[in-house]
Structure 1
């Protein structure tokens, strides 16, 4: 089988940068009145009143204070400029539920830019922000969202052109089950999640899940995702997803959720995920680094490139692999650096399921002591068309190819040559000094 083609460019024509509001400003203050003019000198009292009055291109400026409101940010028309809802001053204005009758404190149905807000759900069974299917070209930036007990903090439910940037999303916890920092549900498309700090949730930092239709075209870039009850990024039924330049650590977090509901993966792909690029990420202190799994239809066209894996641990027991590919088609594992894993750094096609079109090239697998587990390949029948070349192994590390060569310690160049000959592959492989 020929090598899979190089990854196509991932195009993310998400929401353009928020425009500078051109219309009037509406001011809201806890000292205001909803009968006032809404000016700086005579502010309104509620955000809801300002939402009703604001027109496309205008900005609602919310001054510091606590606002107990549950808001529906509706459409102002098709193809119109966004309305901006902006927190002013320090500390940020704090929005808390005014009612628990709705599913979210802020439900976005039109085109809105939300900036510099604190949304404190206060233990209610609500999302902080929900972008519904009619929301488009909207953004959430520079805000803090915390404290819900429903299924997530920020939910993108079939919306398009949504940008989440520079936010903190934390402590969304359902006892004994998932609550994700950010949940993207199909048929959402053209989503950017950039430079956020997402942590201490009982589910995943980010879950991408197809529903009636797949999620398409997602960029997850420059985020810090850590200390979750389950995983950092869970991708199922999603297409054209790029994870680039993120820092991911601390999975699973037993202080948030008892260990055992997941393998504590930094990234897990399943349920027909396709065209996924995982590149240039720093991944540490996880039960697994990257897992590609499938119960039925395999994921396809996966690139795991130029990532750094460190301290991948057997928590829960039986884990500890930096990259584990159990079933898939066309997978590139290339240019990664792997250090200090509790199990094999790379465990590929060794779960009794086929991985077709596997390329393993120019990875650096570092160990700490004799017997350090570096690479395990499944039997030849489970890896049709596999290509291995130019990988770099720690001296005295252990490699294994099921049905071909039992555990072999790479204690010398001669042992490395034995590995190459037995495998009939891995030309250009070297031992690290």
Structure 2
């Protein structure tokens, strides 16, 4: 039996909306733009309707309306508004085909299979009405190249839309945008609403999932059995997938799952590669907002994620990264109201940068162990991970700030860790060998009752006490960060904040530029990342940061050398 527990999210209310109108879309920080389509593949307008409509049919322009009393498929290959087709044409669709669908429901006998023969200049269009989406009840499978699937309403207890391989043809260069997927909230099954995958011989590639609303698949009620029903799953042999501006919530599994546990070997050629998750709203699913398993090159940027409790299949992590993925970037997200914030339990080159994380708490303090490096209520948790760290995050209202349970040589730079809610919790925690082997500096650690850095199960130090043990945290501060209004969750900095111009230089932005050809130039609020000439501490750069005069050291006039035999 699934024991799903969801804590109250009454601390703050977020207003969310799903727009059926496509607006100009700016790519979130750190996410590259697709290099195909003209001029902007995401916002591309659909073709104009033929001048022969409504009275005459036009080749490759299909008009479908199964509720029109005149609708027929007999001797009516394309249809028109005056004489519509009754069913959606299946099989091959010629380049430039336009399929306009009205009313419904349509199920194609259980599955609707479309194979696009589109080109970059003449894609295939499958579209419903923008204000009154066409109603699809059967599964839909899209294969082939260069197509837009938009303005459809899916209402089915089964998997609804798959971009995959069939009959030795895979999906590539497909845009799925402005659709709604509504589940009954009671179904179960280990599956996903929208799935992208290749096969053993070919990959599915260059897929864009934009501005879709997915909700109610799987059962998140207190007495539900585990069902692992995900909003979107990016599976085997899926390369270059963009998941942008979607609203996904109240599903039995994850909002987004990438990869699989069985792809944990770095040499496994099935691992999905280059998945970009940006500008989405994920909340209140049965497991996690984002679950990254065996995969490579993942960017999770500028998403709002909240409302994750415990279940038999989840510890309540908002974001979980495990099964040995590589090059994972969690950048400029807002994360709140979870049992755990971001958990990395096995990765290489996983970076948590520029996020706002707050209201992260365990549910049951009777069994909570403040001395453990694995206790719940942690904003950021690392274990069994290499070449990774947390940089320029703002962490507020938590039981534990950052935990380094196992692994080696972490980097913790430029973080604000403030206003811990548990007096017996920790701001930074890890075994002393892990802490001493890590690069920990330029963090601002503040709590009214004093900062707490845990070096072992039995030893907790203040910041000044911690500095005595090693060279770490030499430039760390225990001053108040001077947020503008932290009680109302405004974590921007006052002009006299001690966090301004006090950050350490970091190399990870250059690495992202090298990997993905992007310039990571803005913070969570869209402010330029460095407004003075030194980066600030925390997720928000002050727009009024003054430039600091950097003075080079004076060269010595005399140099003496002692040579030891």
Q: Same fold (TM over 0.5)?
A: yes
Aligned residue number for residue 146 of structure 1: 182
Matches within 5 A, 1:187-198: 187-198=237-248
* Alpha-carbon distance, 1:422 to partner: 2.5
Matches within 5 A, 1:81-230: 81-88=122-129, 90-97=131-138, 105-111=139-145, 112-121=147-156, 123=157, 126-133=158-165, 134-147=170-183, 149-150=188-189, 151-158=191-198, 159-173=204-218, 175-210=225-260, 211=263, 213-230=270-287
* Alpha-carbon distance, 1:57 to partner: 1.1
Q: Quick one: structure 1 residues 61 and 191, their matched pair in 2 at CA, closer, same or farther if it must change by over 3 Å?
A: same
Pair member with larger Rg: 2
* Alpha-carbon distance, 1:423 to partner: 4.1
Q: 1:388 aligns with which of 440, 443, 446?
A: 440
* Alpha-carbon distance, 1:401 to partner: 3.4
Q: Quick one: structure 1 residues 217 and 315, their matched pair in 2 at CA, closer, same or farther if it must change by over 3 Å?
A: farther
Aligned residue number for residue 268 of structure 1: 320
* Alpha-carbon distance, 1:89 to partner: 5.1
* Alpha-carbon distance, 1:404 to partner: 9.8
Q: Quick one: structure 1 residues 383 and 237, their matched pair in 2 at CA, closer, same or farther if it must change by over 3 Å?
A: farther
* Alpha-carbon distance, 1:194 to partner: 0.3
Aligned residue number for residue 416 of structure 1: 463
* Alpha-carbon distance, 1:385 to partner: 3.4
> What CA distance in whole angstroms lies between the structure 1 residues aligned with 2:342 and 2:143?
35
Q: Quick one: structure 1 residues 59 and 75, their matched pair in 2 at CA, closer, same or farther if it must change by over 3 Å?
A: closer
Is residue 389–residue 429 contact of structure 1 (8 Å, CA) maintained in 2?
yes
SS state at 1:419 partner? helix
Q: Quick one: structure 1 residues 15 and 171, their matched pair in 2 at CA, closer, same or farther if it must change by over 3 Å?
A: farther
Matched, 1:74 2:115: yes
* Alpha-carbon distance, 1:366 to partner: 1.2
> What CA distance in whole angstroms lies between the structure 2 residues aligned with 1:427 and 1:225?
38
Aligned residue number for residue 301 of structure 1: 349
Q: 2:293 aligns with which of 202, 213, 236?
A: 236
> What CA distance in whole angstroms lies between the structure 1 residues aligned with 2:454 and 2:426?
11
Residues matched between the structures, number: 394
* 1:152-211 C-alpha deviation (Å, 9 max, x unpaired): 100111221110000001112164220110000021010000000011111111000155
Matched, 1:45 2:66: no
Q: Quick one: structure 1 residues 369 and 311, their matched pair in 2 at CA, closer, same or farther if it must change by over 3 Å?
A: closer
Aligned residue number for residue 55 of structure 1: 94
> What CA distance in whole angstroms lies between the structure 2 residues aligned with 1:378 and 1:138?
45
Q: Quick one: structure 1 residues 337 and 417, their matched pair in 2 at CA, closer, same or farther if it must change by over 3 Å?
A: same
Q: Quick one: structure 1 residues 242 and 109, their matched pair in 2 at CA, closer, same or farther if it must change by over 3 Å?
A: same
SS state at 2:274 partner? strand
Is residue 92–residue 117 contact of structure 2 (8 Å, CA) maintained in 1?
no
> What CA distance in whole angstroms lies between the structure 1 residues aligned with 2:230 and 2:435?
34
Q: 2:360 aligns with which of 305, 312, 317?
A: 312
Is residue 64–residue 90 contact of structure 1 (8 Å, CA) maintained in 2?
no
* 1:348-401 C-alpha deviation (Å, 9 max, x unpaired): 1x2xx32x2311111111115682634233223335631111111123244233
> What CA distance in whole angstroms lies between the structure 2 residues aligned with 1:420 and 1:178?
46
* Alpha-carbon distance, 1:67 to partner: 2.0
Matches within 5 A, 1:321-360: 321-341=378-398, 343-348=399-404, 350=405, 353-354=406-407, 356-360=408-412
> What CA distance in whole angstroms lies between the structure 1 residues aligned with 2:386 and 2:376?
23
SS state at 2:160 partner? strand
Q: Show structure 1 runs of 5+ residues with no match.
A: 1-8, 98-104, 409-414
The structure 1 segments of at least 4 consecutive aligned residues displaced by more than 6 Å after TM superposition are 77-80
> What CA distance in whole angstroms lies between the structure 2 residues aligned with 1:386 and 1:303?
14
Higher strand share: 1
* Alpha-carbon distance, 1:76 to partner: 2.8
> What CA distance in whole angstroms lies between the structure 1 residues aligned with 2:387 and 2:272?
20
Aligned residue number for residue 266 of structure 2: none
